Structure 1
Amino acid sequence: MKPFLRLSAAAAALCAASPAAWSLTAEEAWEAWVGMAAEYGEQVTAANTSMSGGVLTASDVAVSMEMEEMTISGTLGDVTMTENGDGTVAIAIPPEFQLMMSVAPEYGEKVELNINFAMDDLDMSATDADDGVAFTYAAPSMTFGISDMKVDGEAVPLTFTGTIGNSAGTYTKAGEGIASQFTAETLQIDFEGRDPEGGGSGKGSITMADIASSSTGQGQMFFMDPEQLPAMLKAGASMQGSTTVGATTFAVEGVDGSDNFAVSGKMDGGSGSVTLNAEQVLYAVNYTGFDVTMSGSDIPLPEVSLGMGETSFNVIFPLAQSTEPKPYVLAVGLNDVTIADGIWNMFDPGTVLPRDPATLTFNLAGTGNWLIDILDEEALANPQGMPGELHSLNISDVKLNVAGAELTADGTFTFDNSDLMTFGGMPAPDGTLRARLSGANGLLDNLVTMGFVPADQANGVKMMSGMFFRPGDGPDVLTTEIGVSPDGTVSANGIPIPLQ
């Protein structure tokens, strides 16, 4: 969905930059508009431009973009840029226009389609912005839709429409970078289609509220061939972006003969952010209040539902070759996960197991460094020796809570990269992992009651746990400290564990 938001915004603003005086002229606004479009990989041309009475008219404006395996082209019509007398320039484009898209992969089917845009009461202007030009726009309603879709020359019966309500945004070109902001109160997407070679059909809808996004960086990074990314990063390119959305709903259903399916759900809200440069990549997403319900002829229940109170994923990953340790992070959180009683009843009809919401979280953080340039394809494919070094690992926020049992853990380790012999090619670790396990015996007893685990095997597991765990601070609570020493010793609660 985000590419459609960006495409509609770019088509509305097409934007960009050349140095302008304090009082922006229509000619400067036009040059900046064409220049910023070029930053996004677009070519904007006019059959003719003329200036009269402070109004620049660009006739038969055409837009084109070429990427690997994909081309986009279209005609906007006549565009006018009017000097307002206060240093700003008003921009008017036709309220409706169409772009043609063609995707021709080396392997796969060729897809051709038209994208129709319509913008009611679009208010757009350009103004001087420090060392560049800013383009600002607002529209009560912006719509986009797909028509005349063909796959390998065969028409595909498909309707796809999107409506963005009360949107506003700004694109600013200053120096070699572009900054953008976008907000919208609502987004509604509806689609429906059928299989041209069979009787299958489907339809769906998506709604979003309170959308906001911002980004800085080079425009071409948003649309470029991924194979060009390493070279651009090494040349100094970078980008930052973030997005938030409010209440979201979705529903999809389909039928093919006697087979059918339906999926629907909602989300209270979510956010995401990314930072990418030659040094590192940072990526984070978070969603709250996610619920989904599924039904269909292949599902042996009237419906299946799943809920998650909060979902999070965070990554910090170093990219640059370095002799100094750099930070890394991998953090995952699945909180308050629930499944419908119908699923529980399939394997636990007697309600033996507690059905409390489940949770899985962990946070792995530390330092390491690359000894090779991983942005160099040849160096990555043919590393000479170890490609990198791991220096430290901190384990925290480990929590697994399911069916009445709970495991928590934390630990800290350092690694000796000069010793690759003691642990068979791995840098020698030094540290301790601490864990607490509660409710495990109760869970084993419940599994025996349900017939999933034989009683003798459950008793064997309980006896074996004594090698690694010791009684904790309450009934059915076990704790342990697993230590690893640089000399190769692994111990549990101070007692060495034979590894062979």
Structure 2
Amino acid sequence: MAIACAAPALAEVTPEQVWENWLAFSQSSGQTVTTESVERDGDTLVVTGMKMAIAQEGVTGEGSIDELRFTDQGDGTVAVTMSETYPFNLTIAPAEEGEGPTSLTIEVRQPGLSIIASGDKAETAYDFSGPEITVALTSIEGVDAEAVDVTAEAKLSNVAGKYLIVPGENESTALNSSFTAQSLVLTVNGTDPDPTPADGETGPSTLKVNVTMADMEATTNGNFLSAAAMADMAAALKAGFASDGTINTGATTYDMEVTDATGVTKITGKSATNSIGFSMDATSLSYSGGATGAELSMSGPEIPFPQINLAYAEAAFDFLMPVGATEAPADFAFLTKIVDMTISDEIWGMFDPTGQLPRDPATIVIDTKGTATLTTDLMDPAAMEALGDQAPGELNSLDINELRAKIAGAELTGNGALTFDNTDLVTYGGMPAPTGKIDLKLVGGNTLMDKLVAMGLLPEDQVMGFRMMLSMFANATGEDELSSTLEFKDGGFFANGQQLQ
């Protein structure tokens, strides 16, 4: 008994509290929710005839759920069940005057979906799982869609996840969620019986798209404001709006086939992994993405080869920038890379029919980071307009973590670091004066230039001029190997110790 008394009381949530939590979050997201009835039936709160409406930026929509049941399980948790199928209709305003709107009918199917709510009124957590969730486009009606027969369906299998909703101050809501699915299958089929004629050809056209993704994982975290507050992004960020998330998938395959009067165009591909990330708050904005083991093939009447193939081992991008005014320098970053890319021999043959160039996989990497001090909020249109021709801030530093370009037997690599004096805008013609150095190395460059001259792709006199310029900036450090150290110091520019400015 003493042990039982010492244990903390478990948080409990009631069916009414869960329903109120759902209702508050829906309304904060800009939805208008109405119901036919909300009544207790023993240990269950039954909501019937629920309708959800949205209206924003030229799009209106309405969905309906026949019944929701919130059942007290007797252990402080609530089981939520709802209709296994419900529709949602979207109406998109016309882009030009005189045209009518476009209407979409979407059906959501979620048989066997289990949702368990726990926690308390202030912080309600939801764990969900289900064998299958399907979102299907069942019809399109509108000016350009009346004669188009299109069906689309996205099906998730073995779904599981959780989300935590915490109401905050000033109509804000914190949302943290995670989600997994064993697979995603997307299919699109469409027919246009009378497309816009191309090159005098007429006749029906068809579209088929199939995409499969395995091992999906996603997270979303953020502090969200009301729909009205989000209308002004600058103000919303200052008021505390923030969001970040990730999406990762395993093996992915896709194929698209378009058939028209000219023939059949096909695109197929696959990848081993894929990822996307994003974050945004009052101080910074970032996007990132990547893929590994990717392959792409294309064929069609407009392609002058039987098939074009492209593949790469890895590709990635990463972008981070400050967006809010700061007193101290803030981080920025830029990465783009594609590693071991190969293309069809038919493409090489267009400019190298005799095979003089090595056709080794190509790689390009630009990996940089630095700091900058912003004096103006980039998300504030009025503040940006008031700047006129002035810069919104100052560049403080730039680090080149990696520079690499490898193609046709030649490879350029480099790295370096620079800082900038924003009080000196004279020495380098309006640019803040840099201090630091950049190290570069080129291997196989002379051999590549010789081959390009022999192939007639580069004039010999231009290559001679380029080699003369290289001799000013670089030293020979090996067979067909050049290196150079570019340095900025004391208001001067030096190449391998020789002052050029």
Same fold (TM over 0.5): yes
What does residue 441 of structure 1 align with? 446
Q: In 2, distance between residues paired with 1:150 and 1:422?
A: 63
Is the contact between residue 39 and residue 218 of structure 1 (CA under 8 Å) also seen in structure 2? no
Q: Offset of 1:287 from its aligned partner?
A: 1.1
Q: Does residue 208 of structure 1 match 2:213?
A: yes
Query: CA-to-partner distance for each residue in 1:425-462, whole Å, 9 max, x for gaps?
Result: 21111222211001000101111222212344433432
What does residue 3 of structure 1 align with? none
Structure 1 residue ranges (4+ consecutive) displaced by more than 4 angstroms after TM superposition: 105-109, 223-227
Is the contact between residue 102 and residue 145 of structure 2 (CA under 8 Å) also seen in structure 1? no
Is the contact between residue 225 and residue 241 of structure 2 (CA under 8 Å) also seen in structure 1? no
Q: In 1, distance between residues paired with 2:103 and 2:225?
A: 23
Q: Offset of 1:218 from its aligned partner?
A: 3.2
Corresponding residue to 1:234 among 222, 233, 238: 238
Is the contact between residue 18 and residue 121 of structure 2 (CA under 8 Å) also seen in structure 1? no
**For 1:218, what is the secondary structure of its paired residue?**
strand
Is the contact between residue 453 and residue 459 of structure 2 (CA under 8 Å) also seen in structure 1? yes
Corresponding residue to 1:450 among 413, 437, 455: 455
What does residue 491 of structure 1 align with? 494
For the structure 1 residues 203 and 220, does the alpha-carbon distance in structure 2 shift closer, same or farther, using more than 3 Å as the test? farther
Where does the alignment leave 5 or more consecutive residues of structure 1 unmatched? 1-20
Q: In 2, distance between residues paired with 1:259 and 1:432?
A: 56
For the structure 1 residues 480 and 51, does the alpha-carbon distance in structure 2 shift closer, same or farther, using more than 3 Å as the test? same
Quick one: percent identity of the two aligned structures? 32
Is the contact between residue 203 and residue 253 of structure 1 (CA under 8 Å) also seen in structure 2? yes
Cα RMSD of the aligned pairs, angstroms, is: 2.1
Q: Offset of 1:367 from its aligned partner?
A: 1.1
Q: Does residue 257 of structure 1 match 2:261?
A: yes
Letter in 1 for 2:497: G
Query: CA-to-partner distance for each residue in 1:237-290, whole Å, 9 max, x for gaps?
Result: 111211111110111111220243111100101222222110112322121111
Q: Does residue 381 of structure 1 match 2:385?
A: yes
Letter in 2 for 1:96: T
Is the contact between residue 41 and residue 220 of structure 1 (CA under 8 Å) also seen in structure 2? no
Q: Does residue 314 of structure 1 match 2:318?
A: yes
What does residue 414 of structure 2 align with? 409
What does residue 284 of structure 1 align with? 288
Is the contact between residue 205 and residue 258 of structure 2 (CA under 8 Å) also seen in structure 1? yes
Question: After the TM superposition, which of the residue ranges 388-397 and 190-199 deviates more from structure 2?
Answer: 190-199
Q: In 1, distance between residues paired with 2:94 and 2:335?
A: 36
Is the contact between residue 428 and residue 486 of structure 1 (CA under 8 Å) also seen in structure 2? no
Is the contact between residue 124 and residue 135 of structure 1 (CA under 8 Å) also seen in structure 2? yes
Q: Offset of 1:217 from its aligned partner?
A: 1.1
Q: Offset of 1:22 from its aligned partner?
A: 2.7
Pairwise mapping of residues 135-284 of structure 1 onto structure 2 (< 5 A)?
A: 135-152=126-143, 154-155=145-146, 156-176=148-168, 177-198=174-195, 199-219=204-224, 228-284=232-288
What does residue 338 of structure 1 align with? 342
For the structure 1 residues 375 and 162, does the alpha-carbon distance in structure 2 shift closer, same or farther, using more than 3 Å as the test? closer
**For 1:185, what is the secondary structure of its paired residue?**
strand
Is the contact between residue 371 and residue 395 of structure 2 (CA under 8 Å) also seen in structure 1? yes
Q: Offset of 1:305 from its aligned partner?
A: 1.0
Is the contact between residue 429 and residue 486 of structure 1 (CA under 8 Å) also seen in structure 2? no
What does residue 12 of structure 1 align with? none
Letter in 2 for 1:157: D
Q: Offset of 1:342 from its aligned partner?
A: 1.7
Q: In 2, distance between residues paired with 1:125 and 1:281?
A: 34
Pairwise mapping of residues 341-420 of structure 1 onto structure 2 (< 5 A)?
A: 341-383=345-387, 385-420=390-425
Q: In 2, distance between residues paired with 1:436 and 1:242?
A: 37
Q: In 2, distance between residues paired with 1:387 and 1:224?
A: 28
Q: Offset of 1:227 from its aligned partner?
A: 5.3
Number of equivalent positions: 475
Q: Offset of 1:493 from its aligned partner?
A: 1.4
Where does the alignment leave 5 or more consecutive residues of structure 2 unmatched? 1-9, 169-173, 196-203
